[in-house]
Copies of this chain bind each other. A is one copy, B any other.
Amino acid sequence: MRAVNANAHAGTDIWATEADGPEGLDGGVELAVSTVIFALRPHPESGLMTLWLPLVKRIREPYLGQWALPGGPLRPDEDLETSARRTLLRTTSVEPRYLEQLYAFGSVERSGTDAPRTSGPAQPSSPPPQPETAEAARVVSIVYWVLVQSDEAARAVDGENVQWFIADDLPPLAFDHDEIIAYALWRLRNKLEYAQIAQGFLGGEFTMAQLREVYEAVLQRRLDPANFRRQMITSKAVEPTGRKVTGTSHRPPVLYRFRTRIGAAAPEHVPRVRSRSAAAPPPGAAPAEARSRPAHDPHRGPGPDGPYHDPGTAGPAASGITPDLGTRTRPHTEGPVRR
């Protein structure tokens, strides 16, 4: 790669060859930035750590009164990421521990009115005739996903129109936000397996059990403590701080920290790693790149990353899609298996 113009930026991406005259410059297309914010909190019933996210109640017509993702129009003097951070602050008053662009949603149909929108996932097909409601301008939403530390999120009380919900059990949502969230969830779960984003939910120091709890909560499956520890240690992702936790009524656990901090904004390129059965992503909605896992997330900037997973097809190299991390479900607290 020969970066001739080092640090080139700016970019109008011009229709260089187009002899097009004034041509409709985004006539009527608005740009919004939305955010999917994740935090871990104990489940009200089981008490197990679970994924939660905040939604805001709409106070305008299209979908008035329904729940939607926090977001807003992009300001002319504001970067996309900055806009996402501003939304985060505004709705939850907490700082992001991890932030990354998810995807740009721009179907013509995903406009304002909750009209027809016939059926079937966003298939290529032909542009369906617009519903009656003529107004409602077209909006392209660039969505970011964010991780916030659990205890921080706990402090932030729900505001007037803001409320936290369990990510896997949401109320009816406005627009295509259910698909967006499904995609974000998929990305989070996928990326957790190859990138060190778990620290997005943790503080600077933590025990192996806490780290494992994050993985178990996000991946929704139990992990073998012994294998999990070894993998985290041998992967060089974490290192012991030397300190311990006392007063636990059992052997005092050692505290660990991540060797490298994850940023919160640029596009990144992550090396893919593994993946379990690669649960097919939500059929309808989301972006493409995400599968993969990509691994990666340099600037958190561009790119869906990676290693995301595909709708179903494995890849050539995908021959051995095998489990990973602490693997197996292990008896744990249920049944008289062990001992």
- Asked whether A112 and B10 contact (CB < 8 A) given A265-B288, A288-B267, the answer is yes
Among residues of B, the one whose C-beta sits closest to the C-beta of A67 is B16
Listed from nearest, the 8 A-B pairs whose CB atoms lie closest are A291-B296, A293-B294, A307-B307, A292-B306, A306-B306, A293-B307, A270-B291, A304-B304
Query: A287 at interface (Cβ–Cβ under 8 A)?
Result: yes
- Residues of A in contact (CB 8 Å), total 188
Q: Check A235–B8 contact: CB distance below 8 A.
A: no
Q: Check A17–B231 contact: CB distance below 8 A.
A: no
Residues of chain A from 87 to 103 with CB closer than 8 A to chain B in the complex: 87, 90-91, 100-103
Residues of chain A from 71 to 89 with CB closer than 8 A to chain B in the complex: 71-82, 87
Return 16 A-B CB contacts under 8 Å, by A number.
Answer: A2-B168, A11-B177, A14-B174, A16-B59, A26-B31, A81-B124, A100-B288, A103-B267, A183-B302, A235-B315, A235-B317, A270-B311, A270-B315, A272-B274, A291-B303, A292-B306
Among residues of B, the one whose C-beta sits closest to the C-beta of A182 is B1
> In the complex the two chains form, what is the Cα distance from A9 to B77 in whole Å?
29
Q: Check B268–A294 contact: CB distance below 8 A.
A: no
Write out the residue numbers on chain B whose beta carbons fall within 8 Å of the beta carbon of A176.
Answer: 8-11
Interface locus among A41-49, A241-249, A319-327:
A319-327
Which of B180, B232, B273, B321 lies in contact with A293, CB distance below 8 A? B273
Query: A334 at interface (Cβ–Cβ under 8 A)?
Result: no
Q: Check A302–B2 contact: CB distance below 8 A.
A: no
Write out the residue numbers on chain B whose beta carbons fall within 8 Å of the beta carbon of A105.
Answer: 11, 301-302
Q: Check A191–B294 contact: CB distance below 8 A.
A: yes
Q: Check B57–A16 contact: CB distance below 8 A.
A: yes
Q: Is the interface of A mostly helix, strand, loop or mixed?
A: loop
> Which of A9, A112, A280 has the most chain B CB atoms inside 10 A of its CB?
A9
> In the complex the two chains form, what is the Cα distance from A318 to B310 in whole Å?
19
Write out the residue numbers on chain B whose beta carbons fall within 8 Å of the beta carbon of A153.
Answer: none
Q: Check A272–B300 contact: CB distance below 8 A.
A: no
Query: A190 at interface (Cβ–Cβ under 8 A)?
Result: yes
Residues of chain A from 1 to 29 with CB closer than 8 A to chain B in the complex: 1-18, 20, 23-29
Report A58 CB to chain B, min CB distance, Å: 5
Query: A257 at interface (Cβ–Cβ under 8 A)?
Result: no
Among residues of B, the one whose C-beta sits closest to the C-beta of A124 is B265
Q: Check A311–B289 contact: CB distance below 8 A.
A: no
Write out the residue numbers on chain B whose beta carbons fall within 8 Å of the beta carbon of A56.
Answer: 16-17
> In the complex the two chains form, what is the Cα distance from A302 to B292 in whole Å?
12
Q: Check B289–A187 contact: CB distance below 8 A.
A: yes
> What 0/1 pattern do residues 34 to 75 of A give for CB contact below 8 A with B?
100000000000000000000011111010000011111111
Q: Check A306–B293 contact: CB distance below 8 A.
A: yes
- Asked whether A288 and B162 contact (CB < 8 A) given A32-B12, A301-B122, A311-B269, the answer is no
Query: A111 at interface (Cβ–Cβ under 8 A)?
Result: yes
Write out the residue numbers on chain B whose beta carbons fall within 8 Å of the beta carbon of A11.
Answer: 105, 110-111, 139, 141, 174-177, 180
Which of B78, B80, B119, B282 lies in contact with A1, CB distance below 8 A? B282
